């Protein structure tokens, strides 16, 4: 079984989307399973969602540690017990050190609410509107030591409308995040997407499923 471990800090909407797709598509039959959800916050709402899916949960409270390295070492001990093929960041609000990233090189995934390499960092939707771009979206990427700088796995695209506010644009992008992220996680877990010499390698059919456009449904092509 190819195990997935998800890291959260809050409500876990992207985690819940991944878990729901995994349940509907019976990922276990394909040898893929979400083995555990780990949070740095004991009050994270996503923990209850994980329990509702019957997924193991763990809390490693960052406030209980004097250094970031000690916190990450404790996280790694919990995570490594599951021998994960993929580590998914789903609203995990802690900056990871190179020590942690290097330990899981080529296995950590993140989703960013912009079309990387554009609009790294925060306030992506307002910045897209301010710059007058005609399309926006989200990007799933491998995590590297550079913030929002890892190799791209998949992207989803929506138009930026003249009437858009940052909240309205974020709402449309989030719907596509919930389509793109599950597809990306499963593809990496199954070895259909890999990182080689800093570049993402995949096949044409998988690549088609990892380019998502406004109007698509959640069904996998």
Are 131 and 83 found together in one domain?
no
The reported pLDDT for the residue numbered 219 is: 41
pLDDT of residue 218 exceeding 60: no
CATH (domain of 16)? 3.40.50.170
Q: Are 144 and 199 in the same domain?
A: yes
Q: How large is the C-alpha radius of gyration of the chain?
A: 17
Domain boundary among 79, 104, 129: 104
Of 104, 136, 156, which closes a domain?
Answer: 104
Same domain, residue pair 93 and 121? no
Judge whether 125 counts as a catalytic residue.
no
Confidence check: pLDDT of 221 > 50: no
Q: Based on the domain organization, do 6 and 26 belong to the same domain?
A: yes
Nearest to 40 by CA among 8, 88, 5: 8
Residue at which a domain ends, from 57, 79, 104? 104
Taking 70 as the threshold, does the pLDDT of residue 220 lie above it?
Answer: no
> In which domain, by residue range, is 13 found?
1-104
Residues 6 and 85 reside in one and the same domain: yes
Structurally, the chain folds into a number of domains equal to: 2
Per-residue pLDDT reduced to its tens digit, 23-70: 999 999 999 999 999 999 999 999 999 999 999 999 999 999 999 999
Give the DSSP H/E element, type plus range, for residue 51.
Answer: helix 45-52
Does 36 share its domain with 57?
A: yes
Q: What is the dihedral of CA 205, 102, 13, 200, to 10 degrees?
A: -20
pLDDT of 124-166, one tens digit each? 999 999 999 999 999 999 999 888 889 999 999 999 999 999 9
Q: Is the pTM of this model over 0.85?
A: yes
DSSP assignments along 80-99, one per residue: HTT--SEEEESS--SPPPHH
Cα–Cα distance between 206 and 44 in angstroms, integer?
A: 33
The answer to whether residues 88 and 161 belong to one domain is no
Are 43 and 117 in the same domain? no
Distance between CA atoms of 95 and 149, rounded to whole angstroms? 13
Residues 98 and 129 in one domain: no
Residues 4 and 100 in one domain: yes
> Which one from 58, 83, 112, 171 is the annotated catalytic residue?
112
């Amino acid at each position: 079984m190819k195990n997935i471990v998800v890291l959260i800090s809050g409500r876990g909407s992207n985690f819940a989307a991944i878990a729901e797709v995994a349940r509907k598509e019976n990922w276990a039959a394909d040898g893929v399973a979400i083995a555990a959800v780990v949070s740095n916050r004991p009050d994270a709402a996503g923990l209850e969602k994980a329990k509702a899916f019957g997924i193991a949960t763990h809390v490693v409270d960052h406030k209980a540690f004097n250094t970031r390295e000690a916190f990450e070492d404790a996280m790694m001990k919990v995570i490594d017990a599951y021998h994960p093929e993929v580590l998914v960041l789903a609203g995990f609000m802690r900056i990871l050190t190179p020590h942690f990233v290097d330990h899981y090189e080529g296995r950590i995934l993140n989703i960013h609410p912009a079309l990387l390499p554009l609009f790294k960092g925060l306030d992506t939707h307002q910045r897209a509107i301010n710059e007058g771009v005609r399309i926006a979206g989200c990007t799933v990427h491998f995590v590297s030591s550079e913030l929002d700088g890892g190799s791209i796995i998949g992207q989803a695209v929506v138009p930026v409308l003249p009437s858009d506010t940052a909240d309205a644009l974020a709402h449309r992008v989030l719907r596509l995040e919930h389509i793109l992220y599950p597809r990306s996680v499963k593809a990496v877990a199954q070895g259909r997407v890999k990182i080689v010499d800093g570049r993402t390698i995949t096949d044409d059919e998988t690549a088609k499923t990892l380019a998502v456009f406004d109007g698509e449904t959640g069904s996998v092509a």
